[in-house]
Amino acid sequence: MPYKEKEIEKLYYTIGEVAEMLDVNASLLRYWEKEFDILKPKKNVKGDRFFTKDDIEKIKLIYHLVKEKGYTLDGAKSRLKTESVSTEKKLQIIEKLKKIRGFMEELKGQLH
């Protein structure tokens, strides 16, 4: 059986990397960190923020509520406190559906 190299995954991402992933400004992430108790990125001595995959999933959840669903910050905070599990599951389903849609569009493009 041939050797298969395993993909290396990062444990921590900088604020710039996370901002680029979500196509938002780093200042928005810093603001959300102050507003939402669930965001607690690690910081080094200089104060640089380092986000884990779990932190990024929480940011995606906040992004979904505020930017895609149109919740106010207070509304998003309330929703996260009362229905965080169901909201996370819905977001996971939406992300999977977006991937499927992209795959289907790619297939459609190859057929033409």
Map out the domains of the chain as residue ranges.
13-111
Global pTM? Answer: 0.69
Widest pairwise Cα distance in the chain: 55
pLDDT at 75 over 70: yes
Q: In whole angstroms, what is the distance from residue 76 CA to residue 82 CA?
A: 10
CB atoms within 10 A of CB 32: 19
Q: In whole angstroms, what is the distance from residue 32 CA to residue 86 CA?
A: 21
- pLDDT at position 108 is 86
pLDDT at 1 over 60: no
Tens-place pLDDT, residues 22-35: 999 999 999 999 99
At residue 83 the predicted structure's pLDDT band, cuts being 50, 70 and 90, is: confident
| Contact yes or no for 51/44 (Cβ under 8 A) | no
Give the bridge partners for 13, in sequence order. 51
Question: What would be the CATH architecture of the domain defined by 13-111?
Answer: Orthogonal Bundle (1.10)
Q: In whole angstroms, what is the distance from residue 18 CA to residue 25 CA?
A: 9
Give the bridge partners for 42, in sequence order. 50
